[in-house]
Amino acid sequence: MVDRLKNRDELITLRKNLVAQHKDGNKKLISLCSGSGCGAYGTASVYDSLVAELKKAGLSDQVEVRLTGCHGFCEKGPIMVIHPEGIFYPQVKPDMIPDIVEMTLKNGEIVEKFLFKDPVSKKKIIHEKDIPFYKLQKRVIFGRNQMIDPTNVLHYIAEDGYKGLEKALFEMEPQQIIQEIKGAGLRGRGGGGFPTGIKWASCAKHDGDRYVICNADEGDPGAYMDRSLLEGNPHSIIEGMLIAAVAMQSHNGFVYVRHEYPLAVKNLNIALKSAREIGLLGKNILGSGFDFDIKVSRGGGSFVCGESTALMASLEGKPGRPRAKYVHTVEKGFRESPSSLNNVETYANVPHIINNGAEWYASMGTEGSKGTKIFSLVGNVVNTGLVEVPMGTNLRTIIYDIGGGIPKKKKFKAVQSGGPSGGCIPEQFLDVPVDFDELVKIGSMMGSGGMIVMDQDTCMVDVARYFLDFLKEESCGQCNPCREGIKQMLDVLTRICAGHGKEGDIELLEELGAMVQKFSLCGLGTSSPNPVLTTLMYFRHEYEAHIKDKKCPAGVCKPLFHYEIVDGTCTGCGLCARKCPQDAITGAKKETHVLDQDKCIKCGICYDACKFNAIAIR
Amino acid sequence: MRNVTLAVNGKTVRCSAGTSLLDVCTAQGIDIPTLCHHPQLKPFGACRLCIVEDAKSGRIFASCVTPVAQDMEIQTHSERVVRHRRNIIRLIMAEHPESCLVCSKGNHCDLRKIAAQLGVGQTGLYPMHNYQGIEQANPFIIRDLTKCILCGKCIRADHELVAAGAIDYNHRGFDARPSTLFEQPLEKSECTFCGTCVSLCPTGALTMKNVRYVGAPQKEHESVCGFCAAGCAVSLGVTDGQVVEVTPSPRTDTVNGVTLCVRGHFAHDFLKSEHRLTSPMVKKDGEWTEISWTEALEILSQKLLSVKKEHGPRTIGFMGSSKCTNEENYLFQKIARSLLETNNIDNGGHLFGLPLAAQLDKRLGGRFRARPLKGLEQAEAIFVIGANPGNSVPVAGYHIKRAAQNGTPLIVADPLPTDLNRFAGLRLAVAPGRDLDMVNAISALLLEKKAYDASYTAENTTGFSFFRTGLSSISFERASKTTGLKLDRLEQAAEMIAGKKIAFVIGQGVLQQPKGQETLDAVVNLALITGSLENGASGIYILHRENNQLGALDMGCAPDGLPGRSSLSDEKARKTWASAWGSKMSPDPGLSLVQMIREADKGNLKALYIMGENPARSLPDPGFVKAALEKVDFLAVQDILMTETAQLADMILPGAVFAEKAGSFTNMEGRVQSFDPALPLPGAARPDWEILAMLAQKLGMDARYSEVRDIQKEIARLIPSYGEQYLASPVSWVKDAIQEDQPMAFTTPVCWDGEKPPAGFDFTAITGSVRLHLGSGTRTAQSSRIIAWDGRASIEMSPTDAASLGIEEGDAVRVVSQTGSMIGTAKLVFGFPEGLLRTPAGVAGHSLAGLLDISRTPGAVYSGCKSFPVNVEKSNET
């Protein structure tokens, strides 16, 4: 381990040496993703066999294997990238390792059969940079993940790490830092999109023991960019918080992170420890006389604790409940002191802005939303994963060009952005540029960047019901509109989905939705009706079908549809009959089969099995 | 503060910045419904009913939590706002159970009121019932959380007002409910059953148990609580001539605000006791015979006059009451002094340090008589010595806890753990009775470190140099040894209060100990060197025991004290009073309460008139006291219940409880509060003042009192510290009577070597007040609720001691003193100091008094009953 850095020069020298070592061209570097996704697919066993094979082949000294954080292309994990060439092997299994070692590492050949096959062009692609999923992204924040072992501070330093801190500490006045962030137009990545520079400036304006707090209570279902950043590149967050601390002259920081993110907590703690040991955190940082330290506080998994005042209440050891914000947290937040709370991704942006300048940063993005944004692209999309694109990229690019479109040739129906309380965006808005303001205009929001793609087989009433059920569980229960309004709306939706919907239910949902939206105490409450209101806005006919015709057009709400075998389309292949667990389908070979409705349990196996689209939802 | 101009419903309004929109609108007479808002709780913003609209920005605000802003155009009843208010009520009603129809909250239910105002009947929504079990195992509070609307008032009251920490939110969203830790029943939580949550609950989710009447009382009557010296303003809910519930007064300028304690809320059952005395009676051949008032007064006056004539005025004793009104005590002592020419007059406060309080007043030269408890919350530091306000004066405890919660440094000196400990920055577990050395040592440390207010002492006091010299010889080593406190603890205490104006809270732990007077003097010395007395937010707070102890003293119901706290030994004062009353005034020092009993024992007391006291129960050594009372030729007892003392009497006069009469009480703050009768008198019972007025007339007093007002006029005229303001307003404050020739003087510090415990006693028992009872428990024991909860005396002890004696939690134990013994139930308290026991005062049927020795202190003032040597053993009795 490196000795404690006493001044800036020692850090610069260290970085120079590290970069020089790294440029040693003969050595290969295998970046093996060990983020939570790839980890679940089996990175550990891949790593073990890779190390063993390398040893057997006598390559241990010439090849460095680096377990890195998330690369983003989670659909294809575990991911292996061999540098310096950038050879990309997806879905690596231990039994593939001998071939890779033998052919690629020893002989410099490509293992054709292991290469990534682009689902659109059907072509095999060798290099990571050529894969459309990566090619169309602009990975400013996320890019360094794959070069860094998050448990090794030196890797981060080698990647220009803590350069921004240096600059903030030794070249800039606190006011200048804030000015730079303001100039860059950075807006909070946690969902609200509040201008970060303005937040810092008002926090710095208030006297008291200021706190710099990082919100890592990422709770949107399907969203995991903050986790991947914390797991994969914790030092970038620490550096961002350090710069914020210098800007606001704060000496105490907290990271409030979900208890359900054990790897993030582990890597963050390791990073904090090594940052302290190396003199980048704690007392007299780099000999500047500036003190700042960070504590990690683990949340208990309450969604509402992502709300600033609830988070601070939880941090104080109180129940995580929001309060009315007529006094802002930048004035009286944690322990009644001025507190600046920013999201993980926001902090990750900060070092880049300080390093490259506001102008560079502001050159990316749209008029009102600058820089890049990481989206977590999930649902009915071919390439699920984390996608970083400049603000203003349209939905079509994200879903079709980067995400590879909808699987199984199904039709796109909607994309839900902004987490559970975001809105469902229909096809007509696919060309809308994605930024803070545009999404609000079409009834949704940026949120923390969740993007759930839904295909034709999704029932929008059921989707609204699902999200409301989540929000009902996660409402803190403090204010009546949210606590009871969501519950009532959920009851109405549940009845509609069960076929008990009646005239007036839609109007009731709209009335209650408007009330909850306007009257709730915190952001969770005011945004909670969004899934209902946007689906009502764009998919009202589905509600009406449920209520008036007692039909679920997507075939999701079981009481509201049945399967039928279409005469003329059925070839009588018998596949459905063989697969039916209820023996509900009968028919002679090559003749149209018959489905016994009394026996059918609507499991949908026949529907999925039929190759001729002969099973219809009615 | 900056002013802001805005429009409310089209009307231009100016107010100071920072005012909430709700307050502004309310001040304009606009009725905005709220369910979660209460002026004495921090704004919360949960119910969202108080939403208003700013027409200018189109924004919507919860008015309770939003401060005004310049040029707002507030609409409080726009179409949208009213519609959504109705929606919120519809939702709440959709969650509410059908049992709403038979709910005892009745017309007191805020939800019902607002629903009616907004015209919400049928909700038109899907019912979403949220059934919870009803909890009613405890005798006081019924929790039916099905009716809970999550306004959070109970939780906030628990945290912000009474600082009990019993409840908080549990679960989330629709399942959220107030809950104790681990959802234990209330009785297994930190709940003190103060009932504040019940008073604040807007629905029937929290109600009082054992309400004999379902629904809202027929009328509410403002009054003052009859228990401890806090003097809480209460509202008596009266139906059919009976008090059916007691709640805090809606007035806001009270000592208690919206809080009360378990006694105030639930123990007023004695008001409707079936054991009330309803007719004058005399004992004939050992049997009680009812007689008329005419006969009774005839016999009483004749007896008193004949004893005076035969044996002289000094053989007649008068025991006044620390529970009766100012007017009654005034008249009582006036009869004694002016008509029977005796100064043998005292009151029950004697046992609870009242003579010391009188001394304190003298020492301060009649200064600082008004000491509002709210000052505790503005003090720079609080030093609690020998007091357990959580039990004795709970409302004072709330003030201290709130102050500590808000960051005021708090030092608690007590040999035993109290509920203030968890709020204390420093806890000093001083050895029993050794507070004197502790206080002196702290003073000496402050002087040594020059951390005292030199300019204040120079300008306002005398005798400082003597005091300093006296303290300079103090041995810290000795102090550390006698107090059992390490020197660094004492230094820590000195550090915590250095440079601060301190509020001293003094309880029975100081007042009742052998060196109570000296300890109190030492506290005054410390208050003087720190300059703590001047500021209304610091100074010395004496936690008196009974509701009108201070009033009884002010009214001259003390052997050596004339009305207005003037001294009997002061010839000028004597003359003034004699001429005011147009009578003679004996200069003979009268007998104190204990002296009267001792003289009775010797056969020297021939007649004794007791008003509202129960010495056969409250005094130490009841066997001795009863025997002494038996020896009195003529014993008249005026009381409300057939007490242990009344049973010994020759004549019984049925008096009235505070709720049945008019009068005033003076609380520990020096706040004089008048009240009117709320209830009819039972049977032939009479207000005590009326009995006294009739007797006075019979005895030949010139003055006539046909109503309480007549007595009050005389008091106002003759006692300057009460004066005109006492007549003018139902609430006034005792005025200072500063005697300029008496500057505040330091007393010379004294040391005490302590008493050598008699051989064979291994434990020291410390008497402690209990939360549910007051005094000797005569009245609180009339409440079936109180008895159901705490009918047995808990003997608190250390688990280590218990283990060595084979005692387990809940075992019956016998505590044996030199004088007697008592039975109690062992309660093992973690962290309780070894060798000590806490014996409870006032639990009916478990006579602590039996353990004490009345001959302990031979002087006029009875003291030293705080701690005494005992043994404890397991007992087979129950």
* CATH code where residue B536 lies: 3.40.228.10
User: Does B189 share its domain with B303?
Assistant: no
Residue in chain B closest to A470 (alpha carbons) equals B173
CATH number of the domain residue B29 falls in: 3.10.20.740
- What is the pLDDT, as a whole number, of residue A418? 87
In-domain check, residue B728: no
Burial pattern B363-395, b for ≥16 Cβ within 10 A else e, equals bbbbbbbbbbbebbbbbbbbbbbbbbbbbbbbb
- Contact between chains at A491 and B128 (C-beta distance less than 8 A): yes
Q: In this structure, what CATH number is given to the domain that contains residue B558? A: 3.40.50.740
For residue B32, pLDDT over 90 is answered with yes
Residues B210 and B294 placed together within one structural domain of the fold: no
Domain endpoint, select from B272, B294, B313: B272
Q: What share of chain B is helix, strand, coil (3-state, %, to 5)?
A: 35, 20, 45
A301: nearest CA in chain B?
A: B172
Beta carbons of B87 and A495 less than 8 Å apart: no
Instruction: Say what the pLDDT of residue B846 is.
Output: 65
Tell if the CB–CB gap between B48 and A481 is shorter than 8 Å: yes
Among A308, A314, A40, A18, which residue's Cα sits nearest to residue A162?
Answer: A18
pLDDT at B856: 61
Q: Give the residue from B685, B719, B753 where a domain finishes.
A: B719
Tokens at B807, concatenated = 């005692």
The answer to the question of residue B801 being in a domain is yes
| Interface ipTM | 0.89
In a domain, B110, yes or no: no
Assigned domain for B447 exists: yes
d(CA A610, CA B271): 84
How many CA within 13 A on the CB side of residue B375?
21
Whether the CB-CB separation of B546 and B322 falls below 8 Å is answered with yes
Rounded mean pLDDT of A263-291?
Answer: 95
CB pairs < 8 Å spanning A and B: 106
The mean per-residue pLDDT over the stretch A111-138 comes to 91
Q: Is residue B331 part of a domain?
A: yes
Predicted confidence band of residue A325 (pLDDT cuts 50, 70, 90): confident
With a cut of 70, say whether residue B288 has pLDDT above it. Answer: yes
**CATH number (domain holding residue B848):** 2.40.40.20
Q: What confidence tens digit (pLDDT) does each residue in A136-174 have?
A: 999 999 988 889 999 999 999 999 999 999 999 999 999
Are residues B337 and B362 located together in one domain of the fold? no
In a domain, B432, yes or no: yes
**Domain-located, residue B210:** yes
CA distance A434 to chain B (A): 27
- Which stretches of chain B sit within 8 Å of chain A by CB? 43-49, 51, 60, 62, 65-67, 80, 84, 87-88, 91-92, 94-95, 125-126, 128, 149-150, 152, 168-169, 171-176
Residues B55 and B130 in one domain: no
Same domain, yes or no: B576 and B702: yes
> Do B297 and B257 share a structural domain?
no
Q: How confident is the model at residue B21 (pLDDT cuts 50, 70, 90)?
A: very high
Chain A's closest residue to B86, CA to CA, is A515
| Confidence band of B52 (pLDDT split at 50, 70, 90) | very high
Mean pLDDT over all residues of chain A? Answer: 92
Whether residue B169 and residue A481 make contact (CB cut-off 8 A), yes or no, is no
Domain boundary among B246, B272, B298: B272
pLDDT of residue A568: 87
Looking at the fold, whether B397 and B457 belong to one and the same domain comes out as yes
Contact B227, B659 (CB under 8 A): no
Q: Do B172 and A302 touch (CB under 8 A)?
A: yes
Looking at the structure, tell me whether residues B623 and B523 fall in a common domain: no
pLDDT cut 70: percent of chain A above it: 99
Same domain, B471 and B338: no
CB B808 within 8 A of CB B773: no
Using alpha carbons, select from A361, A350, A434 the residue that is nearest to residue A392: A434
Please tell me whether residues B557 and B699 are part of one structural domain: yes
Residues of chain A neighbouring B171 (CB-CB closer than 8 A) = 477
On the question of pLDDT at B266 being above 70, the answer is yes
Q: Is the sign of the CA dihedral A285, A290, A291, A295 positive or negative?
A: negative
Q: If pLDDT is split at 50, 70 and 90, which confidence band does B753 have? A: confident
Q: What are the two backbone dihedrals, phi and then psi, of residue B869, each rounded to the nearest 5 degrees?
A: -75, 140
* One-letter identity of residue B110: D
Confidence (pLDDT) at B857: 61
**Residues B426 and B525 grouped into a single domain:** yes
Per-residue DSSP letter, B680: P
Q: What pLDDT score does A346 carry?
A: 96
At B788, the pLDDT band (50, 70, 90 cuts) reads confident
Domain hosting residue B775, numbered range: 763-874
Q: Which residues contact B731 (CB under 8 A, 6 or more apart)?
A: B253, B671, B672, B673, B674
| Interior/surface letters A532-570, b for 16+ CB within 10 angstroms, e for the rest | bbbbbebbeebbebbbeeebbbbbbbeebbebebeeeeb
Please name each of the domains of chain A with its CATH number: 26-83+87-126 (3.40.30.10), 146-362 (3.40.50.11540), 372-455 (3.10.20.600), 460-549 (1.20.1440.230), 562-617 (3.30.70.20)
Q: If pLDDT is split at 50, 70 and 90, which confidence band does B851 have?
A: confident
pLDDT confidence tier of residue A222, bands split at 50, 70 and 90:
confident
Residue B103 placed within a domain: no
Half-sphere CA count of B241, side-chain side, radius 13 A: 4
The burial of B433, by beta-carbon neighbours within 10 Å (0-12 exposed, 13-18 middle, 19 or more buried), is given as buried
Could you report the per-residue pLDDT of B73-127, keeping only the tens digit for each?
999 999 999 999 999 999 999 999 988 888 888 888 999 999 999 999 889 999 9
pLDDT at B790 over 80: no
Task: State the pLDDT confidence band at B621, using cuts at 50, 70 and 90.
Answer: confident
Across-strand partners of B428? B413
Tell me which residue in A321, A480, A492 faces B91 most closely, judged by beta carbons. A480
pLDDT one-digit tens code per residue, B648-679: 999 999 999 999 999 999 999 999 999 999 99
Q: What is the pLDDT of residues B589-620, one digit of tens each?
A: 899 999 999 999 999 999 999 999 999 988 88
- For residue B146, what pLDDT is reported? 95
Q: Which distant-in-sequence residues (6+ apart) come within 8 Å of B47 by Cβ?
A: A479, A480, B34, B35, B36, B37, B88, B149, B151
> Domain tally for chain B?
5
- The burial class, CB within 10 Å (0-12 / 13-18 / 19+), for B243 is buried
pLDDT (0 to 100) of residue B211: 63
A24: confidence class by pLDDT, cuts 50, 70, 90: low
What is residue A615's predicted lDDT score, i.e. its pLDDT?
92
Helices marked H in B674-779: 688-699, 708-718, 723-728
On the question of pLDDT at B270 being above 90, the answer is no
A132 has pLDDT over 80 = yes
Count CB-CB contacts under 10 A for residue A39: 17
Q: Do B625 and B601 belong together in one domain?
A: yes
Residue A27: what pLDDT?
82
Tokens of B382: 């609080």
Interface contact A495-B126, CB threshold 8 A: yes
